């Protein structure tokens, strides 16, 4: 957990009990959170007070993501596309 805060354990032990408790619970919550969608399993589980319909997708289109996906569809393995400013348009 100290690695998350980039501090030595001895520094963590100097924190107040309240600050350590908050940091530990934040660490636990982060570990329980899906890195892809940002929700936790208990938010979907009625046995834990959650609901199967707790969230609904809200789809947005990002032109940059679209352009990257389009540019990358025919690239050979190990290659990638990235965005850069077009100097003819953006000065």
Domain locations along the chain: 2-48
Between CA 51 and CA 56 the distance in angstroms is 11
pLDDT average, residue stretch 32-50: 95
> Which residue's structure tokens are 């957990």?
1
3-state secondary structure of 40: strand
Percent of the chain with pLDDT over 70: 100
Which residues lie closer than 8 Å to 19 by C-beta, 6 or more apart?
none
The model's pTM: 0.57
> What integer pLDDT is reported at residue 11 of this predicted model?
96
Please check the confidence at residue 15 and state whether its pLDDT lies above 90.
yes
> Which residue's structure tokens are 């990235």?
82
């Amino acid at each position: 957990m100290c690695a998350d805060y980039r501090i030595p354990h001895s520094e963590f032990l100097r924190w107040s009990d309240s600050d350590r408790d908050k940091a530990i619970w934040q660490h636990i919550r982060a570990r329980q959170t899906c890195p892809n969608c940002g929700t936790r399993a208990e938010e979907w589980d009625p046995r834990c007070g959650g609901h199967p319909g707790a969230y609904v997708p809200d789809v947005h289109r990002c032109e940059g993501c679209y352009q990257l996906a389009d540019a990358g569809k025919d690239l050979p393995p190990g290659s990638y596309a990235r965005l850069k400013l077009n100097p003819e348009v953006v000065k």
